[in-house]
Amino acid sequence: MILLLFSITLVYVGLVMIHAKGVASKIELDTYQGVLRAEEISQKLGKKKGNLDAQKENLQAEALEIFMLYEITKEITKSFNESEAFEIFKRKLHEHVEFKECCFLGSLSREVKDLRKKEGYFVFTLQSKRKKIGYLAIEGVSEKDKEKVMILGHQFALALRRVHLYEEIEQIAITDSLTEVHTRRHVTERFQEELKRSKARNIRMSFLMIDVDFFKKFNDQYGHLTGDQILRETGALIKENIREIDIAGRYGGEEFCVILPDTGYQGAQYAAERIRKAVEDAVIKAYDASVKITVSIGTSTFPDDSKKMDELIDKADWALYRAKKKGRNKVCSFGI
């Protein structure tokens, strides 16, 4: 009986041990699977964190790029001059990109083809809508920095468009729309500047007042369109026969004027005679008509005739009146 009970107990203990071993194996398996799941979750979290870090770095890079673009745009837009804008651009580019030399070439530059072939040079085309406005030629820029150069180059192109637009607007504001010489207001401003400079340097300057002879007769005979063409051609002839430093303008109606810096009486006489002869020799074609015209010119000189702008203008006008009285197509100087 005792033996039987012992045997039953052994069997029971064995069964319990087998069951316990199974339970332990299941717990171990579950634990292992839990560990695997935890590792998988950890890897996913790590990957997600890596993605988030990468996104953060990208956002930081984009923010830096936007800030960089903002800074360069802000700096360049302070200038309304092409060369100044380029110097600002080059300085800002140096802050973000390593290179040896950077130069700005015009849209018609012949150097571009050679530089494109030259080793170590990166040439970037500056575009204004569909029009080329120039090139950036950069020596010694690395491949990784070329994208930055292109981004900044686009910003420089936008700045150039703004500079050119400002220059066009400024030119329109100071240019007479019909004759394409300067407006009376601009000539007056320049006259004051040149007079101030002449006084400071103790040098002479002269002023010409020019009038188209018998303009009313041409206007009445041929019509206003022909009259406009006469004024247009006269303005062009005056511009063609003066120096680069001289300032030609339309004073009003058929009257023109020219400021002659660093010019005394003899020089004024020479300049006026050159204009008079060029107009006299020209044949003006206006629609169906071909006409020949003449001009009368009066001159005055600082400081010989006056030290004040208004008086110099009045005295040149008086000399012009005298030239007309003498038969027109003449040059007369004040006081002579």
Give catalytic residues, as residue numbers: 254
Asked if residue 242 lies in contact with residue 258, where contact means CB atoms within 8 angstroms, the answer is yes
CB-CB contact of 136 with 148 (8 Å):
no
Backbone angles phi, psi at 296, to 5 degrees: -110, 145
Q: Pinpoint the alpha helices (H) of 202-308.
A: 215-222, 224-240, 265-281
Cα(85)–Cα(92) distance, integer angstroms:
11
- Please check whether residue 315 is in contact with residue 334, taking contact to mean a CB–CB distance below 8 angstroms: yes
CB 115 within 8 A of CB 123: yes
- Provide the H-helix boundaries in the chain: 2-76, 82-96, 111-117, 143-174, 184-201, 215-222, 224-240, 265-281, 309-325
